[in-house]
Structure 1
Amino acid sequence: MHVLLCEDDDLIASGIVAGLDAQGLTVDRVATASSARAMLSAAHFDVMILDLGLPDEDGLKLLRQIRQQGVEIPVLILTARDTVTDRVDGLQAGADDYLLKPFDLRELSARLHTLVRRMAGRSVNVIEHGVLSYDPSSRETRLAGQPVDLSRREQALLQALLNNSGRVLSGEQLKDCVYGFGDEVESNALNVHIHHLRRKLGGRIIETVRGLGYRLGPAGHDSEPTP
């Protein structure tokens, strides 16, 4: 999961980044509304954490603007504004969830997973695809009931494909799902991850669509790791 964190408090932001990173999430942090706009236009994110008290403008203004522009990214407001009116204003501005500071990182992570799950149209956390299952919260992958050890990048790639079943994703879209904005990415890195997933989960797990990108393979019942 690729998270955009818009939080101007360095201490809070560093704690969120470290905590979510430890749970396998990729987090890019910005401190201003203008930087958030730039990031949203430059890369793909699965979910956004938005503080309201930003130094250049109120977070609600940013939220209303991106919704007016048709940006559908799930947004969780993370703020100390705790009145009912504040919560109603945030939700009516286009937020999908509202969490008060101070907060527990486990709850924040669970709420993010729930937002992404709903965005993908799923009612349960575990994603099933034929004999393959993946739990984004526990990061557990199983093939025909047997656990499969995937690296963090492989998990992110698999989740991106599972969340977009039937859609063709370009190489750049997949890189945005797997890597942070500032990560150094070697030219063949994505191909290496795809090769490893095919080796571990079966050659048909990822289909190459020539000239366009990649998509999730058919949900067959005979998937076997590639020797």
Structure 2
Amino acid sequence: MIDVILLEDEPVLRGELGEFLEYIGYAPVCVSSLAEFDLHFDARRHRLAIIDIGLPDGSGLELIQRLRQGGQQLGIIVFSARNTSADRIDGLETGADHYLGKGCDLHELEATLAALVRRLGLQRREARWLLMVGPSCLQPPVAPSVQLSYQDLQVLHCLMRAAGESVSRRHIVQALGADYLDYDQRRLDTQMLRLRRRVLEASGQPLPVKTLRSLGYCFYAPATIFE
């Protein structure tokens, strides 16, 4: 997967864009301010950036100018509600590669990212995740391993065994040894949230699991399980 850093201060839109980027096969790191961007941006890892302009602690254009002056070669897409002709010209002259207005079809964002990937010669490396059942740990690609609780191990075993496919909530609950009809669905949502957070904090890699509304979950990266 190719790492993308997304800078968007509006929480709902940031979440939606992050989910969309995961869905189309990228590994997003989502931040909400210039300060968070500076904290999480890694030039060795992030080759693509999606940047909003109006931010709580400054201007996205100033960030783009700073990145370009620092010699950063990453592909930059401005994604902003400010979408007049003058805004777009200003963004492109500052150093953005593309300028998209909020409200555009997200498939246009997907196509724009794909064009940058081709132009920059970025390769989509196979990022294989390993689940070690014996030691109860998850090994992300090129990152520290993550120790797992028994329940987290069962959930990931269920998802990674069917990597690339939809796994129903019922199937996951049954894998946990619980009765689906008596199981509080909020417990599963909370467990998934904590698991995502644990993996990100321990390894720096977002867990490649997407939520399928009203259906279940899907582990969308290549996976291997060692029993």
Distance, in Å, in 1 between the alignment partners of 2:56 and 2:34 is 8
TM-score by length of 1: 0.55
Structure 1: any 5+ residue segments left out of the alignment? 122-126, 128-135, 140-151, 156-172, 187-192, 197-227
Q: Matches of 1:105 and 1:183 in 2, distance apart?
A: 28
Residue correspondence of structure 1 range 12-161 to structure 2 within 5 A: 12-41=13-42, 44-120=45-121, 153-154=127-128
Cα distance, 1:34 vs structure 2: 1.8
Q: Distance in 2 between matches of 1:175 and 1:184?
A: 9
Number of residue pairs the alignment of both structures matches? 145
Alpha carbons of 1:95 and 1:42: their partners in 2 closer, same or farther (altered >3 Å)? Answer: closer
Partners of 1:185 and 1:100 lie apart in 2 by: 33
Residue equivalent to 1:182 = 200
Following TM superposition, the consecutive aligned residue runs of length 4 or more in structure 1 with deviations greater than 6 angstroms are none
DSSP-derived class of the 1:49 partner = strand
Verify the 8 A CA contact 2:61 2:94 in the aligned structure 1.
yes
Consecutive unaligned residues in structure 2, runs of 5 or more: 130-140, 145-196, 205-220
Shift of 1:41: 4.0
Cα shift at 1:114: 1.1
Shift of 1:8: 0.1
Partner of 1:212: none
Q: Specify the SS of the correspondent of 1:112.
A: helix
Counterpart-to-counterpart distance in 1, 2:78 and 2:41: 16
- Deviation per CA, 1:121-180, whole angstroms, max 9, x where unpaired? 8xxxxx7xxxxxxxx6xx9xxxxxxxxxxxx7339xxxxxxxxxxxxxxxxx9559xxx9
CA displacement 1:42-87 (0-9 Å, x = unmatched): 7611200000011000100111011111111110000011111111
Deviation at 1:108, TM superposition (A): 0.9
* Structure 2 contact 50–77 (Cα < 8 Å) conserved: yes
Report the alpha carbon displacement of residue 106 of structure 1 after superposing the two structures with TM: 1.6
| Aligned-residue CA RMSD (Å) | 3.5
Contact 1:20 1:105 in 2 (8 A): no
